[in-house]
Structure 1
Amino acid sequence: MTLPQGRDFHPPWPLTSGHIQTMLSSSGVRRQFLPRRAYRVLDSAQTVMVDGGEGIRLSGSFTAQNVQPAARGLAVLFHGWEGSVDSTYVLQTGSRLLEDGWDIFRLNFRDHGESYGLNESLFHSCRIDEVVHALGDIARRWPSPTMALAGFSLGGNFALRAAMQAPTHGIPLKYVLAVCPIIDPSEGLFSLEESAPWFYQAYFMNKWRRSLRAKQKAFPEIQYFELQELKQNLRGLTEALVLRHTDFGSLEAYLDGYSVAGNALHAMQIPATILTARDDPVIPVTAFERLQVPSNVELDIATYGGHCGFIRGWDMTSFCDEYIAARFNAIAAGKSPYP
């Protein structure tokens, strides 16, 4: 079996632009053009709550496959920052894996997917313990001989960190794949502010402010922020909330808390793949080029793809779907997920 690689992705012009790939990735335009099969994971999906430990509840969605007598395995999908279980890229990947006979679990992080009222404390990117605990709960409630995990952007970062902890928590995770994951948060934050076009920061900030207002509405008795703080830029608002709502003494300590830069991935005990694009305008490729990865971690840097785009053509389908499905299927068959 030949596995696809990043170098195999050659989109037509103007999809050779990383900016166009990135902007189309989560756009409403893309949702209108995608074929109906890209939403099949929504059919018969069950909305569920999973245990994040210490009374924490996280929401998710489970869809059982019905194309073969027994499932190939359980595929768990993590969305990106300010995304949800219903983000286009999550639905499309889940639907593709469903076609191959995988059961699908899509997890919402805290305060994502309209889950603002489930937990009192705010989401932040160092809340890995509750995600690992939830992953263990998912494994127990939907047992499968093959459990594989894929995450996108910040979800890719969470996926890598969760996978490194899975063996010590008895979670039977067999493989993890991260698409355009955040590697060095301090560099990624700086990139959005200084080198990426202004509209990327504006896009994320508008979504984040809307989420913070929804959180405040869910718990009106708690003051999560001052109105003046919402007017700050990405770095300023992040720092204000970190100092107000976490035990980290500085923004730098917080950003370092979810970094997987340098040799951090040497703690990975299971097979893993990182797929990114050289033209990603959100996360600089230099962060990936400086990574020190062990032999069980595949680092695949494509020329094109933007940030979590990899859109093949005007049907708006993604190269990622085949890429992820091929590697998940290899793991389920007891084969190597590497070319």
Structure 2
Amino acid sequence: MKPTDPQDKNPEPGDGFAPSWLVSHSQIQSILATKGPRRRLWLKRGNQMEAVQTRQILECRDGVKLTGVHSRQPEGTTPRGLVVLIHGWEGSHESVYLYSMSCALYQAGYNIFRLNLRDHAGTHALNREMFHSARFGEVLEAITAVKALDATQPMYVIGFSLGGNFALRVALQGPAQGITPKLTIGISPSINPAATVRAIDTGPALFRLYFLDKWLKTLRAKKNAWPDYDFSAFEKIKSMWESTRHFAEHYTEYGDMQRYFDAYTITPQMLIDSPAPVAVITAQDDAVIPFEDFAGLAPRGSVKAFIATERGGHCGFIENLKMGSWAEKRVLELLAQH
């Protein structure tokens, strides 16, 4: 299977993803990624991941705590590996796209750890300082704690959207600190945050309103947990760009939006030169992650696979009305290959 060249808007047939026309539109794909009935479908199939899960609080440096949910394979069986999954911005371990992927991996024999980023999954009171996208150190420390909790090998890391950015940074920076995943997979990863924010503002209004509403809700939850915060300025801002600018200037150590973006921007060349193997799955019709961000990316060096489907939306890749997920099948193939 030859991955699509980012400069080629007409991918070769054979990328393997051919969704039913009923669910092929980018916005439908993106909505089904977060709102679809896949959770109920997995429960009907008798998946035991949730039945055996344990909730964990992971201790990081400087008193920082992150949470997650751990699901081991039944006693007496040998797991095929440990997979750490990271949700997207304003998601959680319960997000439909992550939950469904976790069920597929658990059913295939992997131990699962669904990691929550700071201020996600209702953890606003757990840490005084706010989450921001450049807080990578604590994520790597949390994965180190997961590794101590479950030493199953090999270990893989999978992230979606902003979580895909965090996951890919584990491959880029983890080996220097003793964390070297066998394979890291970014699904619809936001590697160019400035372009992502611009795309949200200039794309379908549905996405901009959705993300602004989610941001306001998390700011209100943070203020409820820590009343001395003042987020009143955000109530009047109507664009993600201006919200991000105000946030970077007043609530991060960077004090400047470009410096903030630079702190977690990933280039295709960085992935090719990564000290640990990576794979990227994205869709050319993603309204949140511009396809141009991947220009120059190819399956060489540390990039073991670069798969750019013609359709799929943002974290979607839904095949049909039965909610079959092409991405889950492809991820299982990638893990088996590595």
Native 8 Å contact 1:35 1:315 kept in 2 = no
Number of residue equivalences: 327
Aligned counterparts of 1:278 and 1:17: Cα–Cα separation in 2: 12
- Out of 216, 236, 239, the residue aligned to residue 231 of structure 1 is 236
1:113-143 deviation per Cα after TM superposition (whole angstroms, max 9, x unaligned): 0111110011000000100111111112210
Q: CA deviation at 1:163?
A: 1.5
CA apart distance, 1:41: 2.3
User: Which of 119, 132, 147 is matched with 2:127 structurally?
Assistant: 119
Cα offset, 1:322, TM superposition: 1.1
1:265–1:293 CA contact under 8 A, matched in 2:
no
Residue 9 (structure 2) aligns with? none
Distance 1:193 1:167, change over 3 A: same
Name the counterpart of 1:268. 274
Gaps in structure 1 of 5+ consecutive residues: 332-339
Taking the aligned partners of 1:245 and 1:290, their CA distance within structure 2 comes to 34
Secondary structure at the counterpart of residue 182 of structure 2? strand
Q: CA deviation at 1:29?
A: 5.2
* 1:232-289 Cα distance to aligned partner (Å, 9 max, x none): 1211121112111212131111112111025222441122100001111111111112
SS at match of 1:124: coil
Which residue is 1:140 aligned to? 148
1:105 aligns with 2:117: no
Separation in 2, partners of 1:69, 1:210: 42
Match of 2:265 in 1: 259
Corresponding residue for residue 309 of structure 2: 302
Q: 2:177 aligns with which of 154, 169, 176?
A: 169
Letter in 2 for 1:133: E
Structure 2, unaligned stretches of length 5 or more? Answer: 5-13
SS in 2 for 1:135: helix
Distance verdict in 2 for CA 1:101–1:124, change over 3 Å = same
Partner amino acid, structure 2, of 1:312: E
Give 3-state SS (helix, strand or coil) of 1:235's partner.
helix
Q: TM-score, normalised by structure 2?
A: 0.91
Q: For residues 63 and 33 of structure 1, do their structure 2 counterparts lie closer, same or farther at Cα, with a shift above 3 Å needed?
A: closer
Contact 2:216-2:234 at 8 Å conserved across structures: no
Residue 54 of structure 1: SS of its match in structure 2?
helix
Root-mean-square deviation (CA, aligned residues, Å) is: 2.2
What is the identity percentage for the equivalent residue pairs of Structure 1 and Structure 2? 33
How far the C-alpha of 1:102 sits from its partner, in A, is 0.6
**Deviations for 1:68-109, whole angstroms, at most 9, x for unmatched residues?**
621111110000000000011111111111111111000000
3-state SS of paired residue (2:217): helix
Q: Tell me the residue number matched to 1:334.
A: none
Distance 2:36 2:308 in 1: 27
For 2:136 and 2:46, locate their aligned partners in 1 and report how far apart those are by CA, in whole Å.
Answer: 29
Pairing 1:320–2:316 present? no
| TM-score, reference length from structure 1 | 0.90
